[in-house]
């Protein structure tokens, strides 16, 4: 089982996205995703999100808004991933070059045009809605199969 965070920074109707194009054997290679990563021993999800945002973008998150807990059974073909989904609109600092890939601010209305995981196109909508979601996204051999969710207000 893997625990991770996934964070979307937003400002001026744009979302900071990461194009994964710098690592070999990257399960997210060739896709646009949010910032985040694995929770380290002893970290809270919030501590992980703040650390990952800083490492990957240079930004310092001041306020995290929990939008969901996402479950991805055997997402990497082996382990179940549980991902804490955050919206971040309050941050400081200067954008750096990421070792994970290319960072770019994308107009919100163009986000779903990017090559990304099919499930991401679904939960990106939740960032702009009230409530917190618990969802399961099922993939098999990197192909999106189905999802279901519960919304808590």
Tokens read off for 113: 């045009």
Structural domains present in the chain:
2-152 (3.90.79.10)
Q: How many CB atoms lie within 10 A of CB 37?
A: 17
- Strand 14-19 and strand 81-92: the pairing is unpaired
Q: How many CB atoms lie within 10 A of CB 135?
A: 20
Task: Read off the pLDDT of residues 76-104 as tens digits, 9 standing for 90 and up.
Answer: 778 999 999 999 999 999 999 998 899 99
Task: Read off the pLDDT of residues 11-40 as tens digits, 9 standing for 90 and up.
Answer: 999 999 999 998 787 788 789 999 999 999
pLDDT confidence band for 75 (50 / 70 / 90): confident
Cα pseudo-dihedral 108, 52, 88, 111, rounded to 10:
10
Task: Read off the pLDDT of residues 115-143 as tens digits, 9 standing for 90 and up.
Answer: 999 999 999 999 999 999 999 999 998 89
Phi and psi dihedrals of 102, rounded to 5?
Answer: -95, 125
């Amino acid at each position: 089982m893997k625990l991770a965070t996934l964070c979307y920074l937003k400002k001026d109707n744009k979302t900071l996205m990461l194009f994964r194009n710098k690592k070999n054997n990257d399960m997210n290679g060739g896709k646009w995703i949010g910032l985040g990563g694995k929770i380290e021993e002893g970290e809270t999800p919030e501590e992980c999100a703040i650390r990952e945002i800083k490492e990957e973008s240079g930004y310092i998150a001041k306020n995290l808004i929990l939008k969901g807990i996402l479950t991805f059974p055997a997402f990497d073909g082996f382990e179940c991933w549980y991902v804490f989904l955050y919206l971040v609109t309050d941050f400081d600092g200067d954008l750096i070059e990421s070792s994970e890939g290319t960072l770019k601010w994308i107009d919100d209305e163009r986000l779903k045009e990017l090559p990304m995981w099919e499930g991401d196109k679904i939960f990106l909508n939740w960032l702009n809605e009230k409530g917190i979601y618990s969802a399961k996204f099922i993939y098999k051999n990197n192909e999106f199969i189905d999802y279901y969710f519960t919304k808590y207000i």
